[in-house]
Amino acid sequence: MARTFGRTAFHFPSLDTTMRRAAELARDGSPEGTIVTADSQSAGRGRLGRNWISEPGLGLYLSLVLRPDCQADAAPVLTLIAGLGVKETLERAAGVRCDLRWPNDILVGEKKCCGILVEMETEQQRVAHVIVGIGINLNHLAFPPELTEIATSLRIETGREWSREDLLDPLMDSLESCYELHRMRGNDPILDAFHQESSFAIGRRVVVEGLPADAAGPLRGVTAGLDSRGMLLLRTADGTVAPILAGSVRADPCTM
């Protein structure tokens, strides 16, 4: 079947954020698979209200429009699909071995090489559209001191420069085939793939920050797999197992 992801494509030398432009296009009726890319973003957005620094030449900045036929509460698994698609792309096209940190950070070694932001609009409990934002670190040779220990780029990992064009076609292929797998067979193969591809899914000691109830401090525990919706299960010291609905997961430095 001919690929539809990326068939409708808009590129801008600079934007505030590809997320806003893609959402406008989705509201105006752009088809599923529409992508927006930019050379740079002046207000790139990350998860949990963070910024995503988006300088020209250093990264791939892309937003993809999806129109899944599902209820709003079925959408979290879409974030896993995006992570699996990017991981497959970086492994096949760039030859770097990647890990997935729930819900969808792509790590090379222990350092983040790609972040994914998923935003959704709903109409009467059903998903109207989803925007999947993908930021891949391509050509950084170094990062600011506060990121040196936690971020990496394809250039650092492979010793060569990368362009958006090197990755765009394989990325569209991988994302569409993961999305199609989910459309045909539901959550199970996606959850199975995530369990297989992520070292964070089961048995990792982690810290979870940025939770709504963070006043009490970050939550610590051992990961216990994903539930049927794709939420990460965490076993805490008192033995209870609870799903993590949001927040930022990292390996627990106290116990590594």
- Nearer Cβ to ligand BTN (58/62): 62
What one-character-per-residue DSSP string does 44-87 give? -B-GGG-B--B-TTTEEEEEEEE---SBGGGTHHHHHHHHHHHH
Output phi, psi for 66, to 5 deg.
-120, 150
Contact between 166 and 154 under an 8 Å Cβ cutoff? The reply is no
User: What's the one-letter identity of residue 141?
Assistant: L
Find out whether the peptide bond into 103 is cis, omega within 30 degrees of 0.
yes
- The Cα 252–Cα 9 span in angstroms is 40
| Of 58, 227, 38, residue with least CA distance to 244 | 227
Contact with ligand BTN (CB under 6 A) among 23, 25, 58, 62: 62
Determine what percent of the chain falls in helix, strand and coil, rounding each to the nearest 5.
Answer: 30, 35, 35
- The Cα 39–Cα 54 span in angstroms is 8
- Nearer Cβ to ligand BTN (10/222): 10
Shortest reach from residue 166's CB to ligand BTN, in Å: 17
For residue 52, state whether it binds ligand BTN (rule: CB under 6 A): yes
For residue 135, state whether it binds ligand BTN (rule: CB under 6 A): yes
Q: Which stretch binds ligand BTN (CB under 6 A): 3-11, 12-20, 142-150, 231-239?
A: 12-20
Q: Which stretch binds ligand BTN (CB under 6 A): 81-89, 128-136, 184-192, 238-246?
A: 128-136
| Of 68, 67, 72, 103, residue with least CA distance to 86 | 103
- Nearer Cβ to ligand BTN (170/189): 170
For residue 66, state whether it binds ligand BTN (rule: CB under 6 A): no
- The Cα 130–Cα 66 span in angstroms is 5
For residue 204, state whether it binds ligand BTN (rule: CB under 6 A): no
Contact with ligand BTN (CB under 6 A) among 115, 221, 230, 247: 115
- Nearer Cβ to ligand BTN (134/201): 134
- Nearer Cβ to ligand BTN (79/187): 79
Output phi, psi for 100, to 5 deg.
-110, 125
Q: Which stretch binds ligand BTN (CB under 6 A): 11-19, 85-93, 159-167, 217-225?
A: 11-19
For residue 45, state whether it binds ligand BTN (rule: CB under 6 A): yes
- Nearer Cβ to ligand BTN (104/223): 104
- The Cα 52–Cα 72 span in angstroms is 26
For residue 34, state whether it binds ligand BTN (rule: CB under 6 A): no
Residues that bind ligand BTN (CB under 6 A): 17-19, 41, 44-47, 50, 52, 61-63, 105, 115-117, 133-135
